[in-house]
Amino acid sequence: MTAPQNLSFAVLGTGALGGFYGGLLARSGHEVHFLVRSDYDYIKQHGLQVDTPLGDFHLNTVNVYSRPEEMPPVDCVLVCWKSTVELASPQTLAQALNQLCRQGNSFALVLQNGLDVESTAANILGAKRVMGGCCFLCSNKIGPGHIQHLDYGRIAFGEYSMDFRGQVTERMKTVSSAFESAQIPNTPAQDLRTARWKKLVWNIPFNGLSVALQADTRQLLNDPHTTYLVEALMGEVQHAASMCGIHVEDEHVQRMLTDTRAMVPYDSSMLLDFRAGRPIEVEAIFGNPLRAALAAGFTPTRIEMLYQQLCFLDRQNLSS
């Protein structure tokens, strides 16, 4: 659980998420190694551009790799692939983590959306070498090696192993310091699962209904029928969490509604993916919580129905 004070990082997936956080860490002087798929040649030649309200910046020289076996061992691997990306298969992740985490105290921090997205990394490294984080980030990749950060950016992260539940470990403090030094707002969470379920309170209604109904957040909250549905879905997430032993306070649910009402109209990231013809993260965000609830003896009927609708829409979208 200890880690060197000046952490080195590998970033798996240099898109809207990995490009932004990795870029901030590299700019602040951390050693960062990026695994890059489609933009490898471009970034190798031109570097990485990040547009952000924090102050645009450009990294001229970036440590980029197209294959994990060429990368050096690091302290912390940030898993930033979307769960739907083919590269994020268990085989590829195993290859990458075994290469990058050769040092005994190295670990992975899984920044994917959804529930239980750390399990693959935990199977490879062991649960005690895995952390997970929820990113509250509004960011897009708008061109090769070009990230546009729009708003937010906080990472709520914690230990995956139940052995560390209720603790802010030394390793978490080290990660938090690294994030602080890189201007990444962050919240070390004593319980990762609580953080994940709390994020689902927003993601399940707004990501799901935005795709099912092709609507932005304001449209959903300006109509009494969909407002009812948003609240009912939030209630199901809260109850599912409770059945899984996770307490989500009523105040959190209310705050998600109030905050979303106060936001500018917002197309969810899932809707953006859907409209761009990309796969949507239906298993990580809907399938996994649904299965967790069912295993705990609760059938969240609306979540289940939304899951089924999204599975259908995703399939139609990808085959069209």
Q: Binding residues for a copy of itself, per CB under 8 A?
A: 212-213, 215, 219-220, 223, 225-226, 228-229, 232, 301-302, 305-309, 311-313, 315-316
In the residue annotation, 128 being an active-site residue is answered as no
Query: For residues 101 and 15, what is the distance between their CA atoms, to the nearest angstrom?
Result: 22
Query: For residues 140 and 150, what is the distance between their CA atoms, to the nearest angstrom?
Result: 8
**With contact defined as beta carbons under 8 Å apart, do 5 and 173 qualify?**
no
For helices 288-295 and 301-319, angle between their N-to-C axes, nearest 10 degrees: 150
Task: State the nearest-atom distance from the C-beta of 214 to a copy of itself, in Å.
Answer: 8
User: CA nearest 190: which of 160, 214, 222?
Assistant: 160
For residue 137, the cross-strand partners are 152
Which residue stretches of the chain are H helix? 18-27, 40-46, 90-100, 119-125, 170-181, 192-213, 217-221, 224-243, 250-262, 269-275, 282, 288-295, 301-319
User: CA nearest 271: which of 218, 212, 226, 198?
Assistant: 212
**Is 266 exposed, middle or buried (CB count within 10 Å of its CB: 0-12, 13-18, 19+)?**
middle
**With contact defined as beta carbons under 8 Å apart, do 293 and 317 qualify?**
no
3-state secondary structure of 152: strand
Percent helix, strand and coil across the chain, each to the nearest 5: 50, 20, 30
Catalytic positions: 199
